Amino acid sequence: MKLYDYWRSSAAYRVRIALNLNGQAYEHICVHLVKDGGQQHSADYKAKNPQGFIPALELEDGTILSQSMAILEYLDETTPEPAFLPASPKERAIVRSLAQIITSDIHPVNNLRILQYLAGELGVEDEPKMTWYRHWITKGFDALEARLGDDTFCFGDTPTLADICLVPQVYNAHRFKVDMTPYPKIARINETCLKLEAFQKAVPENQPDAV
């Protein structure tokens, strides 16, 4: 498989973790989100993923899958062990809802294209832009922290979709200096995950295109 990837893309980071947890080798293809005005907008890349978003996963038959959460579910369905979701529908819904606090309520609002629109079309300065960024992380982490218990991971004692989404979001929170003091459970689970090789190998700084 080929992963169209960028070291700092947190949606790509999710897919790297999942591929590593599955022990799945993949070819890393860097699509630089900043260089050349954003290589994701190039005709070459748009022939792969017309939406011009990272990540995309090219399967062995040439099919290209887009949207990180659809890719994660695909990887879970095609590689039953390790499972990224519990067995019962109710527990699966709980894990998916934890993941979606990040993937629906935080990440889309803080995406590069949104920040570019705020600064460009709306003329928002750097400081209120960073306040925006931290605001949505804080709102989402407030909700998530309240939902977490004392399990080793977000749900249970093995990593699920929720942890796969959590770790890249905590990386962003650190990068933009969000105060993590109110989130001891999130911080603890993040540390636990990062002790695992699958997570560690997926860390942005450990990617071949990292600067």
Binding site for a second copy (CB under 8 A): 50-51, 53, 59, 63, 65-67, 69-71, 73-74, 77-78, 89-90, 92-94, 96-97, 100-101, 103-105, 107-109, 114, 117-118, 121-122, 124, 128, 131-132, 135, 143, 146-147
* Number of helices (H), then strands (E), in the chain: 9, 4
Nearer to a second copy, 150 or 205 (CB): 150
Nearer to a second copy, 121 or 197 (CB): 121
Provide the minimum distance between the beta carbon of 191 and a second copy in the complex, in angstroms, as a whole number. Answer: 24
Provide the minimum distance between the beta carbon of 197 and a second copy in the complex, in angstroms, as a whole number. Answer: 26
Provide the minimum distance between the beta carbon of 205 and a second copy in the complex, in angstroms, as a whole number. Answer: 26
Nearer to a second copy, 43 or 146 (CB): 146
Nearer to a second copy, 81 or 205 (CB): 81
Provide the minimum distance between the beta carbon of 208 and a second copy in the complex, in angstroms, as a whole number. Answer: 26
Provide the minimum distance between the beta carbon of 128 and a second copy in the complex, in angstroms, as a whole number. Answer: 6
